Structure 1
Amino acid sequence: MRDVQNSSDMRGIAIQKVGVKDVHLPFLIKTKEGHFQSVLAKIELTVDLPQEFKGTHMSRFIEVLSDWSQKPVSGREMENILTDTIQRLNAQSAELAIRFKYFVEKVAPVSQLKSMLDYDCSFTGKLAQGGKLDFTMGLAVPFTSLCPCSKEISRYGAHNQRGLMRVNLKYAKGKFIWIEDLAALMEAQGSCPVYPLLKREDEKYVTERAYENPKFVEDILRDLVLALRALDGVEWFEIHCENYESIHNHSAYAAHVETVGIC
C-alpha cells in the first residue's frame, strides 16, 4: 500500500510544528504524597517536519500518548515522552502540552471540614534531538482580595472579590516543585484563600481574615514575585493576576515576567 504522506514535497517549505491537538485522554499525574491522580488531559503533541517530506505519521502521535497515559507523569517524565516521540516520528524536535484539572484537599480554617478544590494545571515541554528539555509548569489559583482603598474610606466594610493568579515557571535541572506546594505558596499571597466548603464559623474567619489583610492586585503580584524569587532552583517565571471586581464591570489586572537573577 502506497504511503502518500511519506512521499517527497518539492515546495521547499519546512514546517516547525505538525501533529495532533485537542486530544483528550486520561493521564496519571504524580502527587506529593507519592500516589497518582487520574485526570482528564487535553493534549497537544507536535514535531518538526523537514521541507522534503509531504506529511507526518499522525497515528504515531496517538500511539505515543496512549502508551504514556497509563504511566504516572510529572515534569521528569516529559523528557522521556518527547524522546519517544522524536524517535517514533524520526523528527529533530518535539513539543508537548498537557492541560488538566488537578484536585487538592482543602481543610476549612475553623471547622476543619475537608473538601476538594480544583486547579487548572499545565505541563509544557520542548526538546530538540540531543538537546536539553525546556519544561514549563503552569498553575492557576483562585483567591480572595479586599480593596485597601475601600477599607480606608468606608465606615461599614470594604468591597472584596474573587480573583485568579496564573503562574508559568521553569526551574533548573534536578530541581522540582510539587503542584500542591506551588498552589499553597500562590494562594498565601491573596487577602485570603478560597475554600470549596465553609460553615458559618469558617465564613466568619475568612471574611475577617480578608478584612485584616487588604491588598490591591498590584500588592498580590509583587508579593508573589518575592515568593517565587525565594524558591530554590526557579530560573524563570511569568505571572498574571486578575481581580474580578465586585463594584465594576471590568477586572483589575497586573502581569510580570522575570528571569531570576536578571530582574
Structure 2
Amino acid sequence: MNSMYYFRPSIVVDVQSRRDHRNIAIDKVGVKNIRYPLTVLDKSRGFQHTVGTINMYVNLPRRFKGTHMSRFIEILNEFYGNFDIRNLPRILETMQKRLDAESAHIEISFPYFIEKLAPVTKSTGIMEYGCRVIGALDCNLGYDLIVEVIVPITTVCPCSKEISNYGAHNQRGIVRLAVRYEKFIWIEDLIELVEDCASCDVYSVLKRPDEKYVTERAYDNAKFVEDVVRDVALRLKADPNITWFAVDVENFESIHNHSAYAFIERWKKA
C-alpha cells in the first residue's frame, strides 16, 4: 500500500450491557441537574413557561454493568417544545421501555411566579415560589406523583409577645409542603393554604400602609413553628382529595443563632 497509515474500521462495543460479576442491583442510576425549558399549568393565565432542573433515573438489574446515559437526554429532547407536567406518565413509560427497566423516576425542580397584590394599596408584585414534581413508574407499584411547594412566610413568637411590655420578635420562615392527591390540584391552592396558616404571608412590594397592615396582622396572629405545621396538617387532613402529605416549617430565628423546626408526615386512610 502507498499510504503510510492503515485505518481499521471502528467497532462499536456495548460495554454497558456486559455482565457485571458483583451481582448487585442498583436502585437508581441516571443523570442529574439537566436545565430544561418546561410548561406548567397556571391557574390565572392557563400556562406558564419556566426552566426546570431535572433528574432522571431508572433501576439497573444486577446483570448489567451500566446504563445508557445518553438515552435519558434523547428522551428529554423528544418532548422538547411539549415538555408539560401532564406528560410525565408518557416520559416515564418511554424511559422504562427505552432503558429496559422495571422502574423509572423523574424529579423536576422549577421556579413558579405569581402576581401578588399588596394587602392595602394593591401594588402589584411578582412572587417567586420554589416547586418540585417527583414522578415514578414501577412495574409492580404503578404510577406515583408528588407535588411540592416551598413557601416563604412571616411568624411572630407568641412567647416573646406574652412576656414583653411592647413588641415581639418576628422572623421569616420557609414552609415545605409535599402532597399526593386523587384529582388534579393547583400549585396556587397549595401556596394559598400555607400562607393562610402563617402569622402573615410575604410580599415582594409593600408601601407604608401595607407594611403597617402586615406588621399588625402578624402581631395579632403570633405562631410558633408548631402552630404553623399543625394548622397546615389540619387543613390537609380535612381535604378528601389529599391522600398523603409531608410538611415542615423552618423559622430563621431573628434573636437566636439557630433555626426552629417542625415536621409532620401522614398517610390518610381511605
| Range that drifts further, 121-130 or 2-11 | 2-11
CA RMSD of aligned residues (A): 1.6
Look up the match of 1:28. Answer: 39
Deviations 1:235-257 (A, max 9, x none): 11111101111111111111111
| Range that drifts further, 253-262 or 98-107 | 253-262
Q: Select which of 158, 179, 190 maps to 1:182.
A: 190
Look up the match of 2:214. Answer: 206
Look up the match of 1:170. Answer: 180
Deviation at 1:30, TM superposition (A): 1.8
Q: Select which of 43, 65, 74 maps to 1:54.
A: 65
Deviation at 1:68, TM superposition (A): 2.7
Q: Select which of 91, 97, 108 maps to 1:98.
A: 108
Deviations 1:119-154 (A, max 9, x none): 111000111136421111111101110111211221
Contact 1:30 1:72 in 2 (8 A): no
1:66 aligns with 2:84: no
Q: Select which of 92, 112, 116 maps to 2:122.
A: 112
1:159 aligns with 2:159: no
Unmatched segments (≥5 aa) in structure 1: none
Deviation at 1:69, TM superposition (A): 4.2
Task: Measure the CA separation in 2 of the matches of 1:251 and 1:159.
Answer: 14
Letter in 2 for 1:248: H
Task: Measure the CA separation in 2 of the matches of 1:218 and 1:16.
Answer: 35
Task: Measure the CA separation in 2 of the matches of 1:34 and 1:113.
Answer: 19
Relative to structure 1, the CA distance from residue 69 to residue 114 in structure 2 (aligned partners, 3 Å threshold; closer, same or farther) is farther
1:136 aligns with 2:146: yes
Relative to structure 1, the CA distance from residue 44 to residue 257 in structure 2 (aligned partners, 3 Å threshold; closer, same or farther) is same
Q: TM-score, normalised by structure 1?
A: 0.93
Look up the match of 2:24. Answer: 13
Task: Measure the CA separation in 2 of the matches of 1:72 and 1:181.
Answer: 23
Letter in 2 for 1:48: N
Relative to structure 1, the CA distance from residue 179 to residue 20 in structure 2 (aligned partners, 3 Å threshold; closer, same or farther) is same
Look up the match of 2:230. Answer: 222
Look up the match of 2:3. Answer: none
Deviation at 1:34, TM superposition (A): 5.5
Relative to structure 1, the CA distance from residue 15 to residue 132 in structure 2 (aligned partners, 3 Å threshold; closer, same or farther) is same
Relative to structure 1, the CA distance from residue 72 to residue 113 in structure 2 (aligned partners, 3 Å threshold; closer, same or farther) is farther
Aligned to 1:133, what secondary structure does the other structure show? strand
Letter in 2 for 1:156: Y
Task: Measure the CA separation in 2 of the matches of 1:66 and 1:169.
Answer: 28
Aligned to 1:137, what secondary structure does the other structure show? strand
Q: Which runs of 4+ in 1 moved over 3 A?
A: none
Number of residues paired by the alignment? Answer: 259
Contact 1:86 1:129 in 2 (8 A): no
Q: What percentage of aligned pairs have identical amino acids?
A: 49
Task: Measure the CA separation in 2 of the matches of 1:114 and 1:69.
Answer: 33
Look up the match of 2:255. Answer: 247
- Which structure is larger by alpha-carbon Rg, 1 or 2? 2
